[in-house]
Amino acid sequence: MEDSIYLDYAATTPVHPNVLKAMLPFFTEHFGNSSSSTHQHGWYTKGAIKRARKQVAKAINCEESEIIFTSGATEGINQGIKGIFNLYHKKGNHIIVSKTEHKAVIDTIKSLEKEGADITYLDVNSEGIITKKSFESAIKPTTILAAVMWVNNETGVIQNVKELSEIAFKNNVPFLCDGTQAVGKVEIDMQDNKIGVLPISAHKFYGPKGIGALYIRRKSPRITLESLITGGNQENRLRAGTLNTPSIVGLGEAIEIAITNLESNTKILQEIKAQFKTLFIQFNAKFNEAESNTSQHVLNVCIPSIKANNLLKLTRKISYSLGSACTSETLDPSHVLTAMGQSKEEAFSSFRLSFSPAITQKEINMALNSFSVAITSLLD
């Protein structure tokens, strides 16, 4: 893929060299099963997993006992949503979910309708923000779960999850927050909010694919879940199966690097994003974001007079998205953008760029030139 430029870092990221270096010994030299408690091979890998759990806990400021390892955010989302519904359904059956959530959340919650779930799909304003008033008014005596993501994967809009989770807590409602796009992009302090469940995926912050972590709050409020997978006592009996030591080690290393470099990376991303905004403004672009509360790693652009799919055809050397990577193969307009009040035409004229601090200025210049030429051609 020589001369190609990757601008789809919200979809996935490459493994950081230091992460790969940390992982490699656990494929060959340190290959023991962490559940093998009678010999040093098992002890060593168990120690490595303990260290990774400590790295995750430190990164989001929680207890190590509040972290379990999963295959990724989608599994964690399923475990959180289904676990809360199954264990809390005697209290009620009402679930609140934002209309702009990732499909992993929306589809999982929608699947509970056949089991009697009463679902409120919460509106957002034109900037994609959930207001305090709308969230409070949606809560019922029968509400047993509220689900609001931290950073939107299509627009980068940051929700005030501290405020919303505190409202949920005051009403005794467990709060699930999809943290997939938040790690390494915003400061995460679990002592400063009332989020009950927070799933994350390593491949969104330069770790390996197929591994994630799930935060489950133990107090104020205490969240109780059940295992989706049975057949063993791993992860405090919350996830059976042999632990994926190399990937867990990689996740721990990746999250430590991401948090260490959060401030400096944010400044770099801000500068990169500004360059692309400057170009697109020349073509009367609109930006699908919250003006003062959007992550710097995502830029969602609407150029009303062109179709984004046509632009994609003229910029084949640039890898970017027309929406979420998980829904980009569908022919429907983005549910996130339509929830923000965009027409179908506006949604089909929108595309997402997502950035990395590792992008070079040469790559930026090449991408800017390619977009400029392509857009000019489509407008002629």
- What type of residue is 70? T
Q: Which residue has the tokens 């055809």?
A: 313
Closest CA to 288 of 203, 365, 347, 216: 347
- What type of residue is 135? F
Residue 177 a catalytic site member: no
Do 15 and 206 contact (CB within 8 A), yes or no?
A: yes
Do 181 and 151 contact (CB within 8 A), yes or no?
A: yes
How many of the other CB atoms lie within 10 Å of CB of 65?
11
Catalytic residues: 326
